[in-house]
Structure 1
């Protein structure tokens, strides 16, 4: 049961958190082209919507309050902890910050930022030398940075699901897939058969398990 006072209307905290994560993503992604800025802006909008509900106005809780209160009358749904809806709905009784969905969110968010950073570093070095990025993380998937954005959004949905961010997630995912397809057309025009062969060898977004298996067997423990 949550007995603390309501923890919303904290717009300053919402702004600070959104700004920190947006700056953090900017430092990892380093947008340069118009396409980069479109993908980064869409991701930033997702973060603003998330933190506006997390600390400002709990729209999702208001919309679901009748159903939630009837099913879980012992919970103070306008406390901050109750905003971790998945922990509440699945009956996690301890501090939700240590719940399974919250921990999973940290793994997804951390993995997403790592993909964005690793992908950008490889891509920057390749572009600087007018080469095709095919090594490192690019040997597993062709679009690691878009994978990273998707994982971060998914991680925040595990941590603090809202109606608005749930609606935005598939739209933004579709947008990233379209941006990736546009990039591939440009890469085909630039690198031709080299990129076509790369497309046949490496999947777009979901790595092949055989790639991990072959890497493991080719690098046995000493």
Structure 2
């Protein structure tokens, strides 16, 4: 899988792609509080680490090159497309951008951005009226925006897994869980019994479609 031109060391591509996805996410999420900025900052760090290995320096390929070459000797692991490790390791023989893992990653990333965008509008409307957000995605999960970030991160991880992002992913998920619990404590203090009823019916991150949406 040889390509014309360099496969890595493309630092302008690192900067441009990181900026595009971070700005795109910012336009959907619109962080305001310090808690919002912490979650968005962690997401941005993941994106920068991802594109640094995708276009800058393939640390994971260097570290695993011996093992990869021993188990899949027919692959040029320093060609750019070989960074799509799941496609390469499962024997996808054509363009990895049309491989099953890459298509799955697009679905996860698209769903994540959609969820963040839709949830933000419902949250913004509720905050303007001083009410608890219980409509739209909030009728199914208590923290749809954090769930959206996790979907996006999972999508990128499926598309281009690296050692650093594999370590960062569970740490970021745990951070979002802690932020969610902190937000819930604030909501209990502000909305009292209304939030207690809402939390008793609506799961934190994974929707229970059998229970039906929450109706205030």
| TM-score category of the 2 structures, normalised to the smaller one | over 0.9
What TM-score, normalized by structure 1, do the two folds share?
A: 0.94
In the TM superposition, structure 1's runs of 4+ consecutive aligned residues that sit over 4 Å from their partners are none
Q: Give the C-alpha shift of residue 76 in structure 1.
A: 0.6
Q: Give the C-alpha shift of residue 74 in structure 1.
A: 1.2
Distance 1:3 1:55 in 2: 16
Question: Deviation string for 1:163-194 (max 9, x for gaps)?
Answer: 00000000000000000000000000000000
Q: Give the C-alpha shift of residue 207 in structure 1.
A: 0.3
User: Is 1:148 matched up with 2:148?
Assistant: yes
Question: Deviation string for 1:29-68 (max 9, x for gaps)?
Answer: 0000000000000000000000000000000000000001
What TM-score, normalized by structure 2, do the two folds share?
A: 0.96
Task: Name the count of aligned residue pairs.
Answer: 212
Distance 2:199 2:11 in 1: 46
Gap runs ≥5 in structure 1: 216-222
Distance 1:55 1:9 in 2: 6
Distance 1:105 1:91 in 2: 18
Question: Deviation string for 1:141-171 (max 9, x for gaps)?
Answer: 0000000000000000110000000000000
User: Is 1:91 matched up with 2:83?
Assistant: no
Q: Give the C-alpha shift of residue 72 in structure 1.
A: 1.2
Q: Give the C-alpha shift of residue 71 in structure 1.
A: 1.1
Instruction: Tell me the residue number matched to 1:26.
Output: 26
Show the 5 A alignment for 1:11-160. 11-160=11-160
Show the 5 A alignment for 1:180-219. 180-211=180-211
Distance 1:117 1:16 in 2: 22
Q: Do the aligned residues in 1 keep the contact of 2:140 with 2:209 (CA within 8 Å)?
A: no
Q: Give the C-alpha shift of residue 82 in structure 1.
A: 0.2
Gap runs ≥5 in structure 2: none
Instruction: Tell me the residue number matched to 2:169.
Output: 169
Q: Give the C-alpha shift of residue 73 in structure 1.
A: 1.4
Aligned-partner SS, 2:66: helix
Q: Do the aligned residues in 1 keep the contact of 2:87 with 2:96 (CA within 8 Å)?
A: yes
Distance 1:4 1:121 in 2: 44
Instruction: Tell me the residue number matched to 2:3.
Output: 4
Instruction: Tell me the residue number matched to 1:218.
Output: none
CA RMSD of aligned residues (A): 1.0
Question: Deviation string for 1:74-117 (max 9, x for gaps)?
Answer: 11101111000000011111100000000000000000001111
